[in-house]
């Protein structure tokens, strides 16, 4: 198990769509080491999700683990560690909502991004089983954020209003109470 370096915005490999992971390599020593490294890296960097391209591995693999805690995102429900291989997303409803997002590959920054809030995720498990789950709200946002990395997209590409893109310290000081979906909140942006 090794903590890998998370590559940052500007590294050209973050913009390259990842390849499907070959199912016949599931369970190999190489695969097990990759998943172990991803988990260690996720924990070491204090993240809730990590895509393989963020550690410069060009495969469609994501790991997500969310502790049941109060964070800058509010109260969030525990999501146990899970590996998502070759995932796809289908939006189930038209409802969108926004969250202030951060990213291990864009350290020290926050941006407000709107995304569909009810999705279906299809993926392969490490055991080679096809699985589907529905996700709502914050978890739906996490999936979409991480899966964007598999297509060479960063959350900053999805920010519609750059006045809602900020350094984390300024976010806490000036923007944390702003919800752009409320009519009055935009007046607080300075």
The 8-class DSSP code of residue 121 comes to E
Question: How far apart are alpha carbons 180 and 160 in whole angstroms?
Answer: 11
Query: Which tokens belong to 79?
Result: 């999501």
Catalytic residue among 5, 33, 65, 146: 146
Catalytic (active site) residue 95? no
HSE-CB at 167 with a 13 A cutoff on CA atoms is 3
Question: What whole-number distance in Å separates Cα of residue 55 and Cα of residue 42?
Answer: 10
- Could you tell me which residues come within 8 angstroms of residue 174 by beta carbon, excluding any fewer than 6 positions away? 166, 188, 189, 190
CB-based contact 38:52 (threshold 8 Å): yes
Helix (H) or strand (E) holding 39: helix 29-45
Tokens standing for 71?
């964070």
**C-alpha count within 13 angstroms, C-beta hemisphere, residue 182:** 9
Distance CA(9)–CA(91), nearest Å, equals 27
Active site residues: 146
């Amino acid at each position: 198990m090794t903590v890998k370096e998370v590559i940052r915005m500007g590294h050209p490999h973050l913009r390259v769509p990842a390849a499907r992971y070959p199912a016949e390599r599931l369970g190999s020593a190489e695969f097990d080491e990759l998943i172990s490294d991803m988990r260690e890296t996720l924990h070491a960097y204090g993240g809730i999700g990590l895509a393989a391209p963020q550690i410069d591995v060009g495969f469609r693999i994501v790991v997500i683990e969310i502790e049941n805690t109060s964070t800058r995102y509010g109260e969030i429900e525990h999501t146990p560690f899970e590996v998502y291989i070759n995932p796809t997303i289908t939006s189930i409803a038209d409802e969108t909502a926004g969250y202030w997002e951060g990213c291990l590959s864009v350290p020290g920054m926050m941006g407000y991004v709107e995304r569909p809030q009810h999705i279906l995720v299809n993926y392969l498990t490490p055991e080679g089983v096809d699985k589907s789950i529905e996700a709502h709200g914050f978890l739906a946002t996490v999936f979409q954020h991480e899966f964007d990395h598999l297509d060479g997209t960063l959350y900053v590409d999805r920010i519609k209003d750059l006045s809602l893109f900020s350094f984390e310290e300024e976010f806490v000081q000036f923007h944390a109470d702003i919800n752009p979906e409320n009519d009055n909140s935009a007046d607080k942006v300075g």
